Amino acid sequence: MKTLHIEIGDHDKIKSRSIVDRAKLRITKNKTRMWYDDFSEFARMFTKTNLAVLNHIKTFNPKSVEELAAKVGCRKCDLSRAINTLAKHSFIELKKVGQDQFMPILHYDNITATMVVGSL
């Protein structure tokens, strides 16, 4: 199980805090950290559509983008923006499985978010 830890706040303060945290918390290959400078940037990434896509990939493990679109309840062309955004930011991978087919693969089983108070 791979977990992504997201922190929201000033990167320099998060970085200095993370140095202290490393002494307390072992960072393993199953834990990855990411940060956003402000909450609005975080909110643009985790829209209702993007969250639905992530949940459906985890729940149904679709074999193609077409199958995912059917599960989400929309057309493939309407889903492409969300899928491409999530792939661009490494939340999912699009593995080529046919001539024109891609299978969405989730990189993380869990995503946690923490807002660093006093850093915004």
Residue 30 pLDDT = 60
Residue 29 pLDDT = 56
pTM: 0.79
Residue 89 pLDDT = 87
- CATH (one of 1.10.10.10, 3.40.50.10680, 1.20.140.10, 2.60.40.10) for 3-115: 1.10.10.10
First-to-last CA distance in the chain? 31
Residue 22 pLDDT = 46
Among 63, 39, 64, CA closest to 115: 39
Please state, in angstroms and rounded to a whole number, the distance separating the CA atoms of residues 47 and 66.
21
Residue 26 pLDDT = 45
Consecutive 10-residue averages of pLDDT for the chain (120 residues): 83 58 48 81 90 95 94 90 91 92 93 76
Is 117 within 8 Å of 75 (Cβ atoms)?
Answer: no
Provide the strand spans (E) within the chain. 3-8, 31-36, 92-96, 102-106, 110-115
Structural domain spans, the chain:
3-115
